[in-house]
Amino acid sequence: MSFRIAVGGIHTECSTSSPVLMKTEDFRVWRGDELLQADYFSFLNQSGVEALPLLHARAVPGGPISWAAYEGFKAEFLERLEESLPIDGLYLAMHGAMNVEGMDDAEGDWISAARALVGPDCPIAASYDLHGNVSKRIVDQLDIFAAYRTAPHIDVRETMVRAWAMLLRMLETGERPGVVFAPIPLLLPGERTSTEDEPTKGLYDLLPTYDREPGIWDANLMIGYVWADEPRATACAVVTGTDRLAAIRVAQEIADSYWHARSEFRFGPVTGPLEEMLDVAARATTRPVILADSGDNPTGGGVGDRADVLNALIARGWGEAVIGGITDPVAVEQCFAAGAGAELSLRIGGGLDPASPFAEATAKVVTLDAGSLPAERQAVVAIGDIIVILAARRRPYHNISDFTRLGIDPQAVPLLVVKSGYLSPELSPIANPNLMALTDGVINQDIEAMKSTRRVQPIYPFVKDFSYTASARPSARWSDD
């Protein structure tokens, strides 16, 4: 006998400060067999299981999702789920920090709709990014939960496999796990809670120890997503297990340990205002100095169209540098129209978010990359010795190949500017050194100065002086048996 397990989900992260709504075309969508053929889901192919692929949609983090785009994906997902019935289980591969215009707790909406369709007896497992925001409504629908334990995220696949393996264990053994949830009134940016730095590292190192306790299957600490001004935004502990009291105790221990460390979280790299960081970069004798433009990081929900750093470099008459990259579809089109080698006056940046600063300069088109779609077009331009990569769509430049594809060797550049928070696993090892500039943008690191009208207060560090004792509750599904 093989188990019929349906698989799908929606995966993105949305800053409610961004005015740039995500639309349908911003998502990479796998439907049906495309999902099974994706390397991302290759662990689904195993004997004894019939994986039933639904729909999986994923977008680079950004602003809220348009209502129409969300409703379109949800309707298609539910239609495919209904067609897949009867099933033995459902696995959802989520991020957890999605925001839909006009809606709170979008994952709660998605997961509740799935639960309503599959009925109360069907096990549902979800995997999450540790930057997701969990709610009681979400937990109440789930039997199994697992989240990343690394940031930068180098355990994406392992996490998905943890959730999947727990679902199979449940089906094979007949054990009935449940989920326990302990909210923590603490919201910090990922840049101050990298698992490569203390005290976060030590807290996450303990999680596998909890997994080995009797009756505990999977212990999780969720950092949450601070740039979502909505009621559910908090950190939390979420524990999957079969021993309810043990799961409650472990969730409370994890929650208390995070709370007690609250004043100790720091930025990992040398961090400061942009001008101060450029002073440090100017004195550096090593290369590449990698400067993270943190307020405009697209992988954290930033718009990616700001020219703050470009303007600062032009103003300083900077020498050799590479900026990877600035999203500006109009400037890219102008470069393609002018052709490689042409000189033109360009306005760069500020094309997506009217609040984003732009730069004006005479630029020479160095390289044009047509990609396979118009949205993938890139243009490399030179403004004096400053090389700027322009992208037609919002995207990060966090991999070595993003640069080498365009003929740029990131290791050879004296100053490499990327729109990033903590550096990616590929850029981090070559940074010599890494500097992080506290630049403006919709994911500004100045948390305490951020508008907070809808987060349920008190939350540290918006409010500093209050007491908290962890209190974990089992999901509604696990409360009444």
Per CB under 5 A, does 191 bind Zn ion? Answer: no
* Least Å from the CB of residue 373 to Zn ion: 26
Stretch that binds Zn ion, among 126-134, 171-179, 195-203, 391-399 (CB under 5 A): 126-134
Site of tokens 């994952």: 107
Residue with smallest beta-carbon separation from Zn ion: 131
Parallel/antiparallel/unpaired status of strands 386-391 and 321-327? parallel
Q: From the list 131, 244, 377, 394, which residue makes contact with Zn ion (rule: CB under 5 A)? A: 131
163 in helix, strand or coil?
helix
* Least Å from the CB of residue 458 to Zn ion: 25
Spatial CA neighbour of 189 closest among 225, 145, 213, 214: 225
Residue 254: φ, ψ to 5°? -65, -45
d(CA 455, CA 230): 5
* Least Å from the CB of residue 129 to Zn ion: 4
* Least Å from the CB of residue 126 to Zn ion: 15
Spatial CA neighbour of 431 closest among 280, 296, 295, 273: 280
Helix axes 308-315, 274-283, angle to 10 degrees: 50
Give the N- to C-terminal CA distance of the chain in Å, as an integer: 29
* Least Å from the CB of residue 221 to Zn ion: 13
CB closer to Zn ion out of 150 and 334: 150
Stretch that binds Zn ion, among 23-31, 98-106, 131-139, 450-458 (CB under 5 A): 131-139
CB closer to Zn ion out of 125 and 151: 151
DSSP states of 318-339 as a string?
--SEEEEEEE-HHHHHHHHHH-
Q: From the list 88, 105, 129, 328, which residue makes contact with Zn ion (rule: CB under 5 A)? A: 129
Stretch that binds Zn ion, among 22-30, 125-133, 276-284, 405-413 (CB under 5 A): 125-133
- Name the DSSP class of 58: E
CB closer to Zn ion out of 130 and 381: 130
CA distance to 196, 422, 423, 425, per residue, from 152 (Å): 8, 7, 8, 7
* Least Å from the CB of residue 408 to Zn ion: 27
CB closer to Zn ion out of 300 and 474: 300
Stretch that binds Zn ion, among 57-65, 130-138, 172-180, 362-370 (CB under 5 A): 130-138
User: Site residues (CB under 5 A) for Zn ion?
Assistant: 129, 131
